[in-house]
Amino acid sequence: MIHVRCARLARRSVKDHWDRTVLQNVPIDEIRDFLTPHQVQMLTKDGATDFNFWGDTEATLAKTRGIETGDDIIFYGENSFHLKAKAGAVFINEQLAEYFWSSTDDGLNFKYVYALEQVKDLSIAYKSSDFLLKDGSPRLAKNFQSGAYLEDYQLMPEFLSKLEICWEEGVVSDEHTRRGIPRDTPIHKAQIYEVTFSIDGKNMIYVGQDLKCEDSYYGSSLVIYHFQRLYGKDIFTKRIIKNLTNITKGEINDTESKYIVESKKAIESKDNWFSINYTGENQRLIK
């Protein structure tokens, strides 16, 4: 299960709260006088002395589940998920909340306080197709209006993969592939390319398309993105398979799919070779 909490940083009051206790570490000595001995013990039991915090109001908890120690949390605002964390110590402390954050316009206090651990930045654009409702039907809402919780079965695999590697939208630009545009869209030029690399004795091959024809582009695959973040782009060897000009997007998709199939056949009899093309040959056709 993953909790969703809204943190719309375009709002000044939210940004001030965020800067105060998420972007800045809070030393235990600064807040010790607001804490009970048990709360101090919960926070410092593993030797930590500096913390990040967030809090919920009663109104939030009236709409969703409360957060417990060890729970995963993702923060949402301005149509994207921008941070993930794991809940540390969880407790109720109205005085501490007043010290950290001003109350809401309705006079509600963020007294349901939780420490944030393993804090990592994200940039994942909200897409309703990434989520299912609890009855298994697609989520149609254009955003998250308040706190929520999502069971594992409600999360699509691609979204979970992006969470796992702390995906940053825009690092791998969709301009290179423009997935989803009509098949009859004219494209002036494009390339079909092959990327190979080796990790721990395992050889990987990936075939993709690039509508911008940039030498430094290695693909929109989450796998490519993950290994590039870990090891840098120098691990990749790129080869242009085919240059295309004055062609439609559908023809580019079909050409890409053809070479993906060929690349998989080429490594069938080779030891320790793996294709990391999982979707290209099943490219959705949009008419």
Per-residue model confidence as pLDDT tens digits over 83-98: 999 999 999 999 999 9
2-164 has CATH 3.40.91 classification? no
Per-residue model confidence as pLDDT tens digits over 228-282: 888 999 999 999 999 999 999 999 999 999 999 999 999 999 999 999 987 544 3
What pLDDT, on a 0 to 100 scale, did the predictor assign at position 138?
85
Q: Global pTM?
A: 0.66
What pLDDT, on a 0 to 100 scale, did the predictor assign at position 173?
53
Task: List the chain domain ranges.
Answer: 2-164, 174-280
Per-residue model confidence as pLDDT tens digits over 192-213: 999 999 999 999 999 999 999 9
| Residue 95 φ/ψ, nearest 5 degrees | -65, -45
Neighbouring-strand partners of residue 198: 203
* Residues near 62 by beta carbon (within 8 Å), at least 6 away in sequence: none
Statement: residue 76 has pLDDT above 90: yes
* Closest alpha carbon to 275 in 210, 219, 216, 213: 219
CA distances from 187 to 218, 236, 284 (A): 20, 27, 18
Count of CB atoms situated within 10 Å of the CB of 210: 23
Statement: residue 30 has pLDDT above 60: yes
Place of tokens 């030797």: 47
Pairing of strands 80-92, 72-77: antiparallel
Mean pLDDT of the chain: 90
**Greatest CA span in the chain, whole angstroms?**
72
pLDDT tier at 287, thresholds 50, 70, 90: very low
Q: Directed axis angle between helix 157-164 and helix 222-231, to 10°? A: 10
pLDDT tier at 180, thresholds 50, 70, 90: low
Statement: residue 44 has pLDDT above 50: yes
Of the ranges 37-41, 181-185, 254-258, which is most confident? 37-41
What pLDDT, on a 0 to 100 scale, did the predictor assign at position 106?
86
Extract the tokens encoding 50: 């500096």
Instruction: Specify the amino acid at residue 1.
Output: M
Rounded Cα–Cα distance for residues 85 and 224 (Å): 24
Of the ranges 125-139, 156-170, 228-242, which is most confident? 228-242
Rounded Cα–Cα distance for residues 62 and 45 (Å): 31
Percent of the chain clearing pLDDT 90 (strictly above): 68
What pLDDT, on a 0 to 100 scale, did the predictor assign at position 105?
81
Pick from 75-79, 143-147, 192-196, 234-238: least confident: 143-147
What pLDDT, on a 0 to 100 scale, did the predictor assign at position 283?
39
What pLDDT, on a 0 to 100 scale, did the predictor assign at position 286?
30
Pairing of strands 202-210, 273-275: parallel
